[in-house]
Chains A and B, each alone.
Chain A
Amino acid sequence: MLEARKIVVGIGGKRLLDDITLCVKPGEVLAVVGPNGAGKSTLLKTMCGDLKPRHGFITMNGTELDDWPIAELARVRGVLPQNSTLSFPFTVLEVVAMGRSPHRRNGDPAHDDAIVRQAMALTDTEGFVDRIYTTLSGGERQRVQLARVLTQIWEPVGDLPRYLLLDEPTSALDLAHQHSVLAIARRFADRFQAGVLAILHDLNLAALYADRIAVLHSGRLRAFDSPERVLDADLIMEIFGYPVTIAAHPVKTDCPLVIPHLLQNPE
């Protein structure tokens, strides 16, 4: 279990996260939603150890994050950044293969190559294996980065649960790729009992793929439950300041569908 306990994160006098307790269980997809500036990325950065909480702590499989050797952590947990600053002309293959670097010491190259190939097939990136990463579009880059992170935690290490943290994995993707990326995350959780935490903006994507949704607002956790319970028109109005109607999904009927209204006087 990846767990945040009563964490408080701040920069200067400003509290970015205030008293947040939540967890990602193995086999579960947790979606984090909330308006811009709610603290979603801060939460992800704290959950993966990039930011240190002022109070409270983060544990993974029962051990505090600081007590994990960094190399060991990298073998069971992958983090997909919101955007990457890579500006050197690596090929796509080289970027994806970097995901194997935590395993290089005891890996064999042919095995690593096979994993890289499978991850690229899964993320639909094998078509540009030899392209230069910096020449790709934003959405293509996002999928290549996902392939890199998947190769990193492709195989189990002992019987430790694996975790995948995704910071807005669908922000630059077209409709089909949005769904294929979240389907990959879903399958990763179902098949390998991995825990997935994904920051999403689209409430309907969250409803379709997540087991639970955490709603952040101004650094506080406003709701943390299953999609049917969380996605409520009053709550969405209160948090996002926008009127919606909740209906049942016409195909997947147990899933709520968020339908935004049309503003009459957009001023």
Chain B
Amino acid sequence: MKAALAASGRTKRYAVLVGLTLLLFVTAIVSLGIGAYSITPAQVLAILSEPFGLHLPWSFDNGQRAVLESIRGPRIALGVLIGATLAVSGAAMQGLFRNPLADPALIGVSSGAALAAVAAIVLETSLLRNMAQLLGHYYLPAAAFLGGFAVTWLVYRFAGSGGRLDVASLLLAGIAVNALAGSLTGLLTSIADDQQLRTLTFWSMGSLGGANWNQVAAGLPFFLLNLLLLPYFSGALNALLLGEAEAGHLGFSVETVKAAVIVLVALGVGCCVALGGIIGFIGLVVPHLLRLRLGPDHRIILPGSALLGASLLLTSDGLARSLAVPAEIPIGIVTGVLGSPFFLWLLYRQRMLGG
């Protein structure tokens, strides 16, 4: 009977994954249609299926196709990748820190990326100017990515000693280094001119506005590394929740797992910040929401987070684009406004449940 129970649990979980996949599909189709140049979901389907030789009975014009292909297509693709990566990284960090309120930003990757991006915008030394000319549009994303990675490495170095990584020290080192990076970012912001300030807001509040296919292609390897390899550590992350020693006794190489998860998160989230700026709360709220319904098993939470994170980011982006037409609200503000009350509600609920 208990085996049957376990089996029915599995079936329920797969049903939820199928449901989340459908949700993402619908969200993506609707998002592709939202904006100044209106395209109905039916037309979106017709445009998308045309290259496959299917001719659906909904007519569309070339202008709509062009908007879809060159503006909304890359924006939605980037949104899916960033949303999925942030949420999966959040779930993995919460497992690693054994704390359901942990966030990928804790290891310093977001603040480091923002600091490097702001430095690249504001500081105009000859070296940086040459770099900017050499890298063109990739200059800022590259700076952000390297900055995120460098700061994570710094945090990691402070928390580890003798080949062992102390997770509690990692948390504290993350807080200290985040504060330092935040202050330096503030300092640079205070000496920026008006033009620079406008570019800066992109990094501090997030936007999918400038997305193009080249960006998507440049980020894709890092997103995929994160999304495809993190689920491989599901079993280890489950065991880590029992405690590090216990995970070791269950046959997992705990230090290797910790290092690998942090590197994958730094790669993925560094790429998110590089291409979309700082977008908060997705990594925090999505895994939490799923855990309420599905329990903490990472084998289901990680793929589920990818799907729900992507849907939620597309929804936020849809709101960002349509709430204040013709202006666009930075997406980080939308996720923040939606996410903070939700986070407070989670805290409240946890207290009410006595734990």
Contact = CB atoms under 8 A, between A and B. Distances in A.
Given A70-B251, A102-B251, A88 B241 contact: yes
A90 B251 contact: no
B241 A90 contact: yes
Interface string A66-83: 000011111101110100
Given A79-B249, A89-B291, A97 B6 contact: yes
Nearest to A103: B251
Given A126-B2, A134-B355, A70 B253 contact: yes
B241 A86 contact: yes
B295 A91 contact: yes
B41 interface: no
A101 B2 contact: no
Given A90-B295, A113-B3, A70 B248 contact: yes
A15 interface: no
A74 B249 contact: yes
A104 B235 contact: yes
A95 B295 CA distance: 12
A81 B239 contact: no
A43 to B, nearest CB: 15
Contacts of A114: 3
Contacts of A74: 249-251
Interface in B1-39: 2-3, 5-6, 9
B100 interface: yes
A81 B6 contact: no
A258 B272 CA distance: 66
A210 interface: no
Contacts of B238: 90, 94, 98, 101
A198 interface: no
Contact of B250 (A48, A84, A102, A110): A102
Interface in B228-268: 235, 238-239, 241-243, 245-246, 248-253
Contacts of A88: 98, 100, 241, 291, 296
B14 to A, nearest CB: 14
Contact of B2 (A45, A72, A89, A93): A93
Interface in B306-355: 355
A102 B248 CA distance: 10
B2 A94 contact: no
A81 B245 contact: yes
A87 interface: yes
Nearest to A165: B249
A84 B246 contact: yes
Contact of B297 (A72, A79, A94, A102): A94
A91 B300 CA distance: 14
Contact of B251 (A71, A84, A89): A71
A104 to B, nearest CB: 7
Interface in A127-149: 129-130, 134
Given A93-B6, A101-B235, A87 B98 contact: yes
Interface residues of A, number: 42
B3 A110 contact: yes
Contacts, number: 88
A199 B239 CA distance: 24
A72 B249 CA distance: 10
Contacts of B251: 70-75, 101-102
Given A79-B249, A99-B250, A84 B5 contact: no
Q: How large is the interface on B (under 10, 10 to 19, 20 to 34, 35 or more residues)?
A: 20 to 34
Q: With a 10 A CB-CB cut-off, give which of B100, B241, B242 has the most chain A CB atoms.
A: B242
A73 B98 CA distance: 25
Interface string A189-212: 000000000000000000000000
Interface in A144-199: 152
Nearest to B238: A98
B249 A129 contact: no
A50 interface: yes
Contacts of B241: 86-88, 90
A117 interface: yes
A154 B332 CA distance: 51
Nearest to A129: B2
A221 interface: no
B250 A101 contact: yes
A84 B250 CA distance: 14
A130 B5 contact: yes
A88 B340 CA distance: 22
A50 B248 contact: yes
A170 to B, nearest CB: 19
A134 B224 CA distance: 35
Contacts of A75: 251
Given A85-B98, A88-B296, A101-B235, A93 B248 contact: no
Nearest to B94: A88
Contacts of A73: 251
Q: With a 10 A CB-CB cut-off, give which of B243, B246, B295 has the most chain A CB atoms.
A: B246
Interface of B: 2-3, 5-6, 9, 98, 100, 235, 238-239, 241-243, 245-246, 248-253, 291, 295-297, 355
6 contacts: A49-B248, A77-B249, A90-B295, A90-B297, A99-B250, A101-B250
Given A87-B98, A102-B250, 16 more contacts: A49-B248, A70-B248, A70-B252, A74-B251, A75-B251, A78-B249, A79-B249, A81-B245, A85-B98, A86-B242, A90-B295, A101-B251, A113-B3, A126-B2, A130-B5, A134-B355
Q: Which 7 A-B pairs have the closest CB atoms?
A: A74-B251, A88-B296, A113-B3, A102-B251, A71-B251, A79-B249, A85-B243
